[in-house]
């Protein structure tokens, strides 16, 4: 059986479940469970090592309880970003880089172009600066879809040249709204699931195929001599030998595929830019 076709079948089964999960996440309404709260980080002396140690001054973006005009978000964003009593809520789906462990909140909105995506980021950044001062120009998210112990990057999607791309709102690691290119951890899980599925699929299929071939080859001599006993003995022996050879080859093939998938995944992770 064609290897690419087998892997495609395995990937399709996993992909369907992944799509269903993502679709349910993104299809949620305004008060969606999927999302996270906005916080603002001070730019003074901010370096990545300080970020990882959380040695940076940061504050949660204000909520409606303060009754400040600075706490509002434009109506054009109200379907996925809004202010409540707890703070500024952003609908989205949590993700994580397989290379760096950096958490991302994929905002539940696809903008028509990059400038619209940048305008959204700048709205959040201006909200932080208005609330806490001009040095609080970095934005991030935490809690709910992002672990409480982590700081998440806000990633926004936009259309460009008949495709969709991502960029990140300004924070401790990303600036200038460059195209975001990272390898998500869920792809690693998918690759591992395909490899594990192969270790089950290949031995079974090859064992069945080998057994069928051995059975046919085993009964041919007896059938040609019209010897029922030879047909029975040869068929049983051929079936057992064929199954053993086929299963053994399937295990070998599955292990070989694990190494191929591992190497391919490792290369893709190393080529990511985050």
Pair (138, 206) in one structural domain = no
Does the pLDDT at position 27 exceed 90? no
Does the pLDDT at position 15 exceed 50? no
pLDDT at 24: 36
Q: Is residue 15 part of a domain?
A: no
Pair (118, 215) in one structural domain = no
201 C-beta neighbours (distance < 10 Å), count: 20
Q: What is the mean pLDDT of residues 79-95?
A: 92
Q: What is the pTM of this model?
A: 0.68
Strand runs labelled E in 30-188: 35-41, 58-60, 81-84, 87-96, 103-111, 138-142, 152-160, 163-168
pLDDT at 16: 35
pLDDT digits (tens, 9 = 90+) for 162-173: 899 999 999 888
pLDDT at 44: 67
Pair (216, 105) in one structural domain = no
How many domains are there within the chain?
A: 2
Pair (106, 214) in one structural domain = no
Pair (106, 210) in one structural domain = no
Pair (91, 138) in one structural domain = yes
Domain that holds residue 101: 31-182
Pair (167, 191) in one structural domain = no
d(CA 189, CA 21): 14
């Amino acid at each position: 059986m064609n290897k690419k076709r087998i892997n495609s079948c395995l990937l399709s089964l996993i992909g369907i479940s992944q799509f269903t999960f993502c679709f349910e996440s993104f299809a949620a309404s305004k008060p969606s469970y999927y999302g996270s709260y906005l916080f603002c980080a001070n730019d003074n002396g901010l370096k990545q090592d300080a970020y990882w140690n959380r040695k940076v001054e940061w504050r949660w973006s204000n909520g409606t309880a303060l009754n400040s005009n600075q706490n509002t978000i434009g109506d054009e964003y109200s379907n996925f970003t809004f202010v409540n009593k707890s703070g500024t809520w952003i609908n989205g789906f949590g993700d994580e880089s397989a290379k760096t462990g950096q958490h991302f909140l994929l905002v539940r909105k696809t903008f028509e172009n990059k400038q619209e995506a940048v305008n959204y980021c700048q709205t959040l950044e201006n909200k932080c600066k208005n609330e806490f001062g001009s040095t609080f120009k970095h934005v991030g998210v935490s809690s709910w879809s992002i672990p409480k112990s982590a700081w998440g990057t806000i990633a926004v999607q936009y259309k460009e040249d008949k495709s969709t791309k991502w960029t990140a709102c300004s924070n401790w690691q990303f600036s200038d709204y460059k195209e975001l290119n990272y390898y998500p951890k869920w792809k690693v899980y998918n690759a591992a699931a395909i490899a594990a599925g192969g270790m089950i699929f290949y031995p079974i299929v090859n064992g069945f195929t080998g057994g069928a071939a051995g059975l046919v080859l085993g009964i041919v001599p007896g059938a040609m001599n019209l010897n029922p006993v030879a047909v029975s003995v040869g068929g049983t022996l051929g079936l057992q030998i064929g199954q053993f050879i086929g299963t053994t080859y399937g295990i070998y093939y599955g292990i070989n595929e694990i190494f191929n998938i591992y190497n391919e995944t490792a290369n893709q992770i190393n080529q990511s830019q985050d």
